[in-house]
Amino acid sequence: MHGSVILAFVFGMMACNGTDSSDKSANNSAADTTSAAKATDTATTVKVKKKKKGQTSIAMPMGDSTKMVKDIHGIYNRADKEPEFPGGQSALSTYINKNLNYPQTAIDNGTSGTMHVSFVVDEHGKVIDPQAMDGKNLGDDLVNQTLKVFSSMPTWTPGMVHGKKVKTRLSVPVTFELADADQ
């Protein structure tokens, strides 16, 4: 930014510096002014590519009022007491941010957006069958990286239905954002 201001100032000074001949002075001044304008336009349209970094965030869905249903595999769509990550939602967010590496190719391509990850917490608290429900527009690198992190999660507190531990399906939105690296 400072370079473009200095460049505009130098060209502006050159445009004001004419010769003794009035015809030549007018012609040179007009030409110099045109050159200065072009140089200034060029200088102001140069974009400095800022270094970017990737950030992730998650949000656990709040209580669901849909009817509790068990599918043919014995997996509930919700539970009386929902499964919980050890330490709660803030610990889950910390885990995701610590373990999910935003691939450099995704940063370079300016990739951002939200992916919903569906997974089952079984009756032992193990995360099984993580799937990206959407997010194909985010690319394979982000999808694969996210599913890998969900597959290797620590043991959760399982969901409970009528006081019994059950398999419960959850869906968590994971948001990928790009920010300036100096933030």
* Whether 102 and 25 share a structural domain: no
Residues 62 and 94 in one domain: yes
Q: Write out pLDDT tens, residues 33-56.
A: 444 444 434 333 334 345 566 656
Do 22 and 64 reside in the same domain of the chain? Answer: no
Same domain, 70 and 158: yes
For residues 156 and 174, state if they share a domain.
yes
Q: What is the DSSP annotation of 69-126?
A: -B-TTSEESS-SB--B-TTHHHHHHHHHHHH----HHHHHTT--EEEEEEEEE-TTS-
The pLDDT value recorded for residue 139 is 87
User: What pTM does this model have?
Assistant: 0.65
Candidates 121, 141, 139; CA nearest to 129 is 121
Q: What is the pLDDT of residue 15?
A: 41
Answer yes or no: do 27 and 103 share one domain. Answer: no
Range(s) of the domain holding residue 14: 2-45
pLDDT digits (tens, 9 = 90+) for 82-135: 999 999 999 999 999 999 988 888 888 888 899 999 999 999 999 999 999 987
Same domain, 17 and 67: no
The continuous run of DSSP H or E covering 148 comes out as: helix 140-151
